[in-house]
Chains A and B, each alone.
Chain A
Amino acid sequence: MKPYLALMKIDLKLALRLRMVIIFNYLFPLMFFFIYLAFMRVRQEPHRIYQVLAMVITMGVLGNGLFGAGMRAIQERETNILRRYKVTPITPAPLMVASMVTSWLIFMPYIIFVFVVSHYKYAMPWPSHLLEILVFISVGMVAFRGIGMVIASVANSMQEGQILVQICYVPMIFFSGATVPADVFPATMQFISNFIPATYLVRGIQNMLWQNQGLYAQRGLVGILLLAGILGATVAIKLFRWEKDEKIRTSAKLWVVAVLLPFLIFGIVKYQQQRKTTGQSNPGASKAEIKQVIRESSRS
């Protein structure tokens, strides 16, 4: 336990000493939060605050997991910092756990801050299950840090890591409904969104905010996110490399797919359920509906 606590303590101290951590964990997300508030005209249409919260929280969790966990681990390997740890009796587990706990401690004040601002400045009523929402967001953080850690394990360089992170980040941002509401997606995009991990985070947050649902109602989503997080951490520990000279086989990059497998399976199940309910695949939004949303967006 001693190494876990010591690593958490030092990780937290180091994070707070780095300007980049402050910029990427607080400054940028808050900037997006206020831009979205203005862009979505939340003052005029208060119900849109839920959509803004779901968007900025998802973006924050994705950034924290993919860039925070993934890129930082690659950087520490590339700069020979992990090599110094390699000669000590510790295993990769305390390093990963400490990084996860620290990022949670750093990220949570931002989440609480956006809720406080939404309540006091934008008259959002306190959600009935605020604590459960925070637990759900924490589960999301575990899942995306797991994916980030797997990316760090399979990337052989910073450049490769950047590419892999972007390959995961960009579709997740666009197809999950984090930036554009998923309801307006055409059928193909809605079908794809079922397989995007971030979709589950967005859906969960929206269900809990809009429909005042509790954590139990999200048990399926919690299960799949937790499974992805556990799978990610397990694979990351298995593939953990301490030194930049220890290159990984190209085929090992397929482990990223293994971590995304629960989402693939869940996506198929969800699609089948939709087919059964509607008698066909979800038709998605019509062209007219999409045009309407675009018109509204451009007006705002």
Chain B
Amino acid sequence: MNTDSVISVQKLQKRYADMEAVKGIDFEVQAGEVFGLLGPNGAGKTSTVEILEGLRPRSGGEARVLGFDPERQKQQLKDRIGVCLQATNLPAKIRVQEALDLFASFYTRSLSSEKLLHRLQLWDKRSAYYDTLSGGQKQRLALALALVNDPQVLFFDEPTTGLDPQIRLEIHSLIEEMRAENRTVVLTTHYIEEAERLCDRVAIIDEGKIVAMGTPRELQQKSRTQSHIQITCSEPVNQPLPPWPNAVDVALDESRRQLTAYSSRPAQTLFEIMRWMDQQNMQLEDVHLKKPTLEDVFVELTGKRLRD
């Protein structure tokens, strides 16, 4: 176990009756890191974070968060972490500021509710009843409640699910602010772009196991899936195609104007194709380069799509 780790998980297991949701996973999260757990519904992400938050007992293995055992030192742990749950609610007739003041009273330390309201753009809504807030405002309040005790570690369980793109971007900015403040964030999501944009490291979970872990870039580079180059020429290509280095599966479509090539070294292959086209006096109309995404990596590793 690394002594600098804020979160340390070893051979963690969780069983529900005869179903094994988490099958002996290991990972560590360092201070100030944004760590993503990526996987489809039912992969074991929520079970894992709920064990770390002290909400569920584990069936086996070891876990430590800020040096606390989440099962045996629940209260001390909960006092130091912030949690934004996937499905939660507040009483309909509680006002925004009242909710913040109430939750602040549960912790040994707390931030000023005024500051949080300004930060989460809820100041104008401070006197509004909870049931009059929009989905995005409710989620911002959930984030404010997660921050009310000035936590060192934050758990966000699918924080943007079901929200419109504008709110999603606001929440992304907030998580980036958390990282800038050197807080540790554990984020579960099934949005690829969220993980790619926000996470320093990602663990891909499937059927209770971690199938890959690393920075989004490392995972993409490790992928056997190759970059995909698509070139549209202004006129049909009638010349035979030469063997370009590193390019595989080179093909022309029926119109013979669109050329597709897969390559493990896309920059070099693109350069070779451009040079050949120039030699042939061919005009370029359009070019697309698509690198493998985390979704491609996931599909390659599990044979499933993330939203399955």
Instruction: Kindly name the residue among A3, A18, A88, A90 whose own CB sees the greatest number of chain B CB atoms within 10 A.
Output: A88
**Complex interface residues of chain B between 61 and 89 (CB less than 8 A to chain A):** 74-76, 78-79, 83, 85, 87-89
Interface check B94, CB cutoff 8 A: yes
Contact between A80 and B107, CB atoms less than 8 A apart: no
Contact between B94 and A10, CB atoms less than 8 A apart: yes
Given that A3-B106, A6-B101, A6-B105 are contacting pairs, would A87 and B78 also be in contact in the complex, using a CB cutoff of 8 Å? yes
Contact between A79 and B89, CB atoms less than 8 A apart: yes
Contact between B105 and A2, CB atoms less than 8 A apart: yes
Identify the closest chain B residue to A16 (Cβ). Answer: B93
Q: How far, in angstroms, from A76 to B145 measured CA to CA in the complex?
A: 18
Identify the closest chain B residue to A244 (Cβ). Answer: B87
Given that A13-B98, A88-B78 are contacting pairs, would A80 and B103 also be in contact in the complex, using a CB cutoff of 8 Å? no
**How many CB-defined contacts (below 8 Å) exist between A and B?**
58
How many chain A residues sit at the interface, stated as a range, is 20 to 34
As a 0/1 sequence over residues 140 to 167 of chain B, the CB contacts with chain A under 8 angstroms (1 = contact) are 0000010000000000000000000000
Interface check A17, CB cutoff 8 A: yes
Contact between A87 and B85, CB atoms less than 8 A apart: yes
Main SS at interface, chain B: loop
Interface check B53, CB cutoff 8 A: yes
Contact between A89 and B89, CB atoms less than 8 A apart: no
For B107, list chain A residues within 8 Å (CB): 88-89
**Complex interface residues of chain A between 59 and 110 (CB less than 8 A to chain B):** 76, 79-81, 83-91
B75 → chain A closest CB, angstroms: 5
Interface check B284, CB cutoff 8 A: no
Interface check B267, CB cutoff 8 A: no
Contact between A18 and B93, CB atoms less than 8 A apart: yes
Instruction: Kindly name the residue among B53, B55, B89 whose own CB sees the greatest number of chain A CB atoms within 10 A.
Output: B89
Q: How far, in angstroms, from A67 to B87 measured CA to CA in the complex?
A: 26
Return the contact of A83 from the options B87, B94, B102 (Cβ within 8 A): B87
Q: How many residues from B make CB contacts under 8 Å with A?
A: 24
Interface check B90, CB cutoff 8 A: yes
Given that A10-B98, A13-B98, A84-B145 are contacting pairs, would A89 and B90 also be in contact in the complex, using a CB cutoff of 8 Å? no
Q: How far, in angstroms, from A200 to B93 measured CA to CA in the complex?
A: 37
Contact between A84 and B88, CB atoms less than 8 A apart: yes
Identify the closest chain A residue to B82 (Cβ). Answer: A87
Contact between A80 and B89, CB atoms less than 8 A apart: yes
Interface check A180, CB cutoff 8 A: no
Interface check A261, CB cutoff 8 A: no
Instruction: Kindly name the residue among A10, A80, A83, A84 whose own CB sees the greatest number of chain B CB atoms within 10 A.
Output: A84
Contact between A84 and B106, CB atoms less than 8 A apart: no
Given that A18-B93, A89-B79 are contacting pairs, would A6 and B87 also be in contact in the complex, using a CB cutoff of 8 Å? no
Interface check A170, CB cutoff 8 A: no
Interface check B303, CB cutoff 8 A: no
Q: How far, in angstroms, from A2 to B106 measured CA to CA in the complex?
A: 7
* Interfacial residues, chain B to chain A (CB-CB below 8 A): 53, 55, 74-76, 78-79, 83, 85, 87-91, 93-94, 98, 101-103, 105-107, 145
Given contacts A3-B105, A86-B55, A91-B75, 10 further A-B contacts (CB under 8 A): A2-B105, A14-B93, A14-B94, A79-B89, A80-B87, A83-B89, A84-B145, A88-B78, A89-B76, A89-B78
Query: Closest 9 A-B residue pairs measured CB to CB?
Result: A6-B105, A87-B83, A17-B93, A89-B78, A88-B106, A80-B89, A84-B88, A89-B79, A89-B75
Q: List 21 A-B contacts (CB under 8 A).
A: A3-B105, A5-B105, A6-B101, A6-B102, A10-B98, A14-B94, A17-B93, A18-B93, A80-B89, A81-B89, A81-B91, A84-B85, A84-B89, A84-B90, A84-B145, A85-B106, A87-B78, A87-B83, A88-B78, A89-B74, A89-B79
